[in-house]
């Protein structure tokens, strides 16, 4: 079954860490050749839109800025609409902090209105302690994404969602999740894609984020067995993906 457009995950779908999934590059090349619109929809908030596109270009995947929508971009959009002018303690990469500053927040480590958490490769006890104390004192808790597992070329490592559990267990407060499977990131990506949900399929490896985004949001899904969620695990779920394939060489556009 063909679709008029695609939402495509990155980590575990296009690549694992620095290791490109060759069949995924060929798939995107075919979309480009046929002029079929697509948007990369990623929960990875460690990179800016430009950095995320550049990583693909460096891997030989032809794409551009209008084809990228990240959870960092979705979080920035939420901040602009709901918390412009607020102060925030941010656990995340320098790129995420810059994106959020540009969205209108003031970075601080004391008396913050918000704690915003993304994946931080340099997270330590001190950062988690500071965040827990701020949340305990009434700061709002926002997370870019809930991914507990993160695929790399070395294997599966802890994602932002796993580290969020430290703060959840400590404070008893669950964060507002912006990224997949939240509807807000899907709406942002669909707006960028410019198609109706009935015309689109969402491709991803992670059942809890990618596939559930489609199931919750009324978009057909294609699970690829190249990342976090093994197909054996996926097929045991109560709600199944629309399609399940081993890799993108099996899908014809």
Is 180 annotated as a binding-site member?
Answer: yes
Q: What is the chain's Cα-based Rg? A: 18
The string of DSSP letters for 5-55 reads EEEE--BTTTEETTEE-HHHHHHHHHHHHHT--EEEEE---SS-HHHHHHH
246 assigned ligand-binding residue: no
Catalytic residue, chosen from 9, 147, 210, 220, is: 9
* Residue 36 CB burial class (10 angstroms; 0-12, 13-18, ≥19): middle
Active site residue 147: no
Q: Is 98 annotated as a binding residue?
A: no
Is 47 marked as a binding-site residue?
no
**Distance between CA atoms of residues 3 and 67, nearest Å:** 17
Which one from 11, 120, 210, 220 is the annotated catalytic residue? 11
251 DSSP β-pair partners: none
SS3 155: strand
114 backbone dihedrals φ, ψ, rounded to 5°: -135, 150
- Residue 60 to residues 21, 24, 40, 63, Cα–Cα distance (Å): 11, 11, 15, 9
Active site residue 9: yes
Q: How far is CA 1 from CA 111, 222, 243, in A?
A: 53, 11, 10
Give me the active site residues, please: 9, 11
**Binding-site entries:** 9, 11, 180, 205
**Binding-site entries for substrate:** 180
């Amino acid at each position: 079954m063909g679709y008029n457009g695609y939402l495509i995950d990155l980590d575990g779908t296009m690549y694992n860490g620095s290791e490109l999934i060759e069949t995924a590059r060929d798939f995107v090349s075919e979309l480009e050749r046929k002029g079929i619109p697509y948007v990369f929809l990623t929960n990875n908030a460690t990179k800016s839109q430009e950095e995320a596109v550049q990583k693909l270009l460096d891997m030989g995947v032809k794409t551009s800025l209008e084809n990228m929508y990240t959870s960092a971009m979705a979080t920035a959009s939420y901040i602009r609409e709901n918390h412009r002018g607020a102060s925030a303690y941010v656990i995340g990469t320098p790129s995420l902090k810059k994106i959020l500053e540009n969205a209108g927040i003031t970075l601080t480590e004391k008396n913050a209105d918000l704690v915003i958490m993304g994946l931080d490769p340099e997270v330590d006890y001190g950062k988690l302690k500071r965040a827990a104390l701020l949340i305990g004192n009434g700061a709002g808790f926002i997370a870019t994404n809930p991914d507990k597992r993160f695929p790399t070329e070395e294997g599966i490592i802890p994602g932002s969602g796993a580290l969020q559990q430290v703060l959840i267990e400590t404070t008893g407060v669950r964060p507002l999740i912006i990224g997949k499977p939240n509807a807000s990131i899907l709406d942002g990506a669909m707006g960028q894609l410019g198609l109706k949900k009935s015309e689109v399929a969402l491709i991803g490896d992670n059942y809890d984020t990618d596939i559930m985004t489609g199931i919750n949001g009324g978009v057909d899904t294609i699970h690829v067995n190249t990342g976090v969620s093994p197909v054996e695990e996926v097929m045991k779920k109560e709600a199944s993906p629309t399609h399940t394939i081993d890799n993108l060489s099996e899908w014809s556009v």
